[in-house]
Structure 1
C-alpha cells in the first residue's frame, strides 16, 4: 500500500479515536440532562428554579458545542474515507486483493472483519451515532413515508443482525458462508488424484476431464412478522435497535438452522438441506446395544475415508438423543459406584473427543457426522423490513416484517453421513 494511503488510514484512525471521546462526553451530558429534568421537578423556590435554569443554559451550550465538533469531525472522516477509497480503487494491488476477497475464504474474512468492527463500535457507543444507523431508525419509526412502505436495512445493521444470528443457531457458525448481490456460481474441483512422478522432460498429466463442477445458488425469501409496542418506537434508538435486531436475528436463525438440515430445495423455494442430499450409501443404522458407542463412531469412516484430507468432523444430534443414548458412555464408574472416568461436559459435549453440537431440528435417535464447511450458505446483501399498524391496533402494537434472501446446499454431499439408532433386536 502506498505511503499516502497509510497516512490517510492513520488520520482516519486518529479522528475516530477523538470521535469516540466526544461520544463518551455526550453520554455524560445526556446523564446530566436526565438529572436536571429531575431537578426541575423538585425545584420549589425562585432561587432553586433560577439555579436549575442557569445549569440548563450551560448544558445546552455544551451540547451545541459538542454537536458542532462531532459534525465537523464526522465530515472530515467521511472525506478522508472517500479519498482513501478512491486511491484504493486506482491501486492495482488493492484491486487484486479486492478480487481475492470474492473467493469464499476472503469473503468470509471480510465479513468477519466488518462484524468485528460493529462489535467494537457497540462497545464505544459509536455505532448508535453513525449517520446510516440513526437515519435507518428514524425511517423505521416513520416507515409509512418510505416509498412502497419497505425499508432496506443498511449493511452495518445487517452485520449486527448476522452477528446475533450466530448466538441463536448451532449450525450457522459451522457452515461456509458467502455474501453476494446476485446469482452465484461456485467452481468445485472434484479431482483428488495424487501428483504423478515422472522424468524431468516428461509432460505433466492432467486430472480427469470434467472434474470442475458448477454449483449454482439462487436467493429464496425468508420472512418473519414480529410486533413492537408503539411506546418503544418513541424511545431511544438503543432500545429499539436491541429489540428489533434480536427479533429479526432470532427468527432468521431458526429458519436457517432448519433449512441447513432439512431444506426442500429449489422446487419448494428453499435451500437444499443436508439430510435430503446425503447419498444412500452414507445412511446407516446401528443398534442401541452394549457396543452402541463403538458402532456409532465407526460410521465416521463414511465421511473420513482417508482418500483426501478433510476438515473437522462434527456430530450433530438432538439433545435428547445424547442424554438418552450416549451420556452414560461419558461416565465411568467402578464396582463400588465411584466415578473413575471423566464426567460429561454438557456445555461442550463430545464423543471420544469428537465435537457434538445439539440441534432440536434433528429427528430423535438420528446423528449426522459431517464436515460442515462442505455446506455453502449464500447470503444476499439486502435485508428489508416493512410494517403494518392495523394488525394489532387494539393492543397498541406495530407489526414489522423482516425479509431476507438466502440459498444453500451441500457442495459435497458425501461429506455427511446419517446414522439412525434403533432398538436392539436381541435386548
Structure 2
C-alpha cells in the first residue's frame, strides 16, 4: 500500500510538471506564429533587420529543442510510473488481507497511516478510505460530531480538535477553494515565527587563481509572523449527518474549505494586518513605515507610486496589453522561483479578452487571453471580490502564509429545526505578509487607481 501511495505521489508531481511544461509550449506556439509572420515580412526588410530575425529564429529553435526533449523525458517518466503503479496495485489485490494487529501495536500503525492520508479525501481508493475511517481518532471525531448534533448540544466549551490525519486532507481542500493558496509560500509553524530573508546579493570579485579571496558583504533580515484566527459557521443537512461517515466527512470538508478559502484569498490581497494577514495591495498602498515595523526587517520602501499604477481610459486594444506588460516591469522577481500570477475579477478579465480579439487568416475570431497573460506570460486567476478594472499581479511565492496547527470544529447548541439543519463552525489560524513587497504591482484600467479599500465580514462577536 505504501509503495502504491509513493508511486501515486511521484506520478502526481510529474503530471504537474508536465502541465506547467505544456503551458510553456503554448507560449512557444505563439512565438512561432509571430516568427513566421516576421519571416514573411523580412523579404522587404533591411539586411540588419533580417539578421535580427535570423537570430530570433535560432534562439527559438534552441528553446523548442530543449522543450521537446524535456517533454519527451517527462512523458516517458510518467508512462513508467503508471506501469509501476498498475503492477503494484495488481500485486496488492492478489495479496491476502493481513490479520488484525493487537491493540498494543496501534501507535505504530498510526504513524504509518498518517503519512498515507495526506492526500485528497475524494481521490482515495476504497482501501485507503477504509483505513482512514478505521483510525480511532477519526472514528471518535465523527462519533462526537454526531452525538453533539443529535443531542442538540455543544461538543465542549473549546470545540472539538480535528485529528492530525484530517488536517492534511482539510488543507488540500482549502487549496481547492482558495485560488491563491497554491501560489503563495505556505509555511507550517508553531508559536511566534520569523522568516529569514537575504538582502541584496553582492557581486563576486574576479582575481588571479592563486590570489586571496575578497570578503563579500551579505546581509540578512527577518520577518515576524503572528497568529490570527479565521472562522465562521455553516449549516449541515441532518440527513447527511445521519448517513455514512463518507457523506458526513464530505460535508465538513466542503463547508470548511469554502469558508476558509474565501477568507484567505481576500486577506492575501487586501488584509489590513490587524487581527488578520497583511495583504499585497495594503502593503503597496502604505505611504510610511508602520510604527511597529521591526528594526531587523528589510528596509521599508515606499511603493505607492512605483507599484500602484493607472492606465488611461483612452488606451485600448494592443496598446492596452503592451502598457500592462510594461507596467508589470515594476514587479521585481529577484527572489522568486515561481511564475507570475495575474488576479482580477470576471469583468476585468472579459475586458482584457475583448481588447485582444483578432481575426485569423481563416476568418475565425480568437482572443489573446485564455487563462494566461499574453506576451509576458503568467497564470490568470479570477476573484470576483476585486473591484472592476483592477489587476493585482506579481510573484506570489514572495508572499509567506504561516499556517498553524489547531484547526477546530464545533456544533452550535441551537439547531435550525424547521430547516432540518444543524449549525456548525470551523476555525483555523494563519498569518501572512508580502515578504518581498517589490515583487508585486496593482494596475488600474480605464483611469482607475487601485486602493486598499476592501470590506471584510464584520467581527460582531468581539
Q: Same fold (TM over 0.5)?
A: yes
Q: Quote the Cα distance in structure 1 between the aligned partners of 2:120 and 2:239.
A: 31
Q: Give the alignment of 1:369-384 within 5 angstroms.
A: 369-384=393-408
Number of matched residues?
Answer: 332
| Deviation by residue 1:87-137 (Cα, 9 ceiling, x = unmatched) | xxxxxxxxxxxxxxxxxxxxxxx99x8633866645532323332222210
With normalisation by structure 1, the TM-score equals 0.68
Per-residue deviation, 1:171? 1.1
Aligned equivalents of 1:403, 1:332: Cα separation in 2: 48
CA 1:146/1:391 → structure 2, altered by over 3 Å: closer, same or farther?
A: closer
- Alignment of 1:356 with 2:380, yes or no, is yes
Check 1:216–1:117 CA distance in 2 against 1; reply closer, same or farther (3 A cut). same
The correspondence for 1:282, drawn from 289, 299, 307, is 307
Query: Could you tell me which residue of structure 1 aligns to residue 270 of structure 2?
Result: 262
Q: Does 1:158 align with 2:181?
A: no
* 3-state SS in 1 of match to 2:251: helix
Residue 143 (structure 2) aligned to one of 138, 144, 155 = 138
Q: Distance in 2 between matches of 1:244 and 1:252?
A: 12
CA distance in 2, matches of 1:233, 1:398: 9
Comparing 160-169 with 236-245, greater Cα deviation is found at 160-169
Q: Please report the RMSD computed on the Cα atoms of aligned residues, expressed in angstroms.
A: 3.6
- Give the distance between the partners of 2:326 and 2:176, measured in 1 at CA: 32
**Alpha-carbon offset, residue 223 of structure 1:** 0.7
SS of corresponding position for 1:224: strand
Q: Does 2:346 match 1:319? A: yes
Query: Deviating runs (4+, > 6 A) in structure 1?
Result: none
* Secondary structure, aligned partner of 2:329: helix
Q: Which residue of 2 aligns with 1:299?
A: 327
Q: Is structure 2 residue 359 aligned with structure 1 residue 333?
A: yes
Task: Report what 1:215 is aligned to.
Answer: 223
Q: Residues 371-412 of structure 1: CA distance to partner in whole angstroms, max 9, x if unpaired?
A: 000001111111011211315244343211111111110000
1:382/1:405 contact within 8 Å kept? yes
Distance 2:417 2:439 in 1: 50
Find the aligned partners of 1:333 and 1:73 in 2 and give their Cα distance. 71
**Structure 2: tracts of 5 or more residues without a match:** 7-87, 285-302, 449-462
Report SS of the residue matched to 1:298. Answer: helix
Match of 1:91 in 2: none
For the residues of structure 1 that align with 2:195 and 2:109, how far apart are their CA atoms? Answer: 36
Residue 376 to residue 310, structure 1, CA distance change in 2 (3 Å): same
Bigger radius of gyration, 1 or 2?
1
1:362 Cα offset (Å):
1.9
Inter-CA distance 203–169: structure 2 relative to 1 (3 Å threshold): same
**SS of match in other structure, 2:445:** strand
Q: Following superposition of structure 1 onto structure 2, how do residues 170-189 of structure 1 map, counting pairs within 5 Å?
A: 170-189=179-198
* Deviation digits for residues 219-248 of structure 1 (CA, Å, limit 9, x no counterpart): 111111011233432221111000111101
Shift of 1:178: 0.9
Spell out, residue by residue over 1:8-53, the C-alpha distance to the aligned partner (whole angstroms, 9 max, x if none): x9xxxxxx989x869x99xxxxxxxxxxxxxxxxxxxxxxxxxxxx
Which ranges of structure 1 fall in alignment gaps of 5 or more residues? Answer: 1-5, 10-15, 26-65, 86-109
Q: CA deviation at 1:343?
A: 4.1
1:192, distance to aligned residue in structure 2 (A): 2.1
What is the aligned partner in structure 1 of residue 252 from structure 2? 244
Aligned to 1:105: none
Secondary structure of the structure 2 residue equivalent to 1:302: coil
Native 8 Å contact 1:192 1:308 kept in 2: no
Q: Which has the higher helix share?
A: 1
TM-score (norm 2): 0.64
Distance 1:320 1:121 in 2: 37
**Aligned pairs (5 A) from 1:41-60:** none
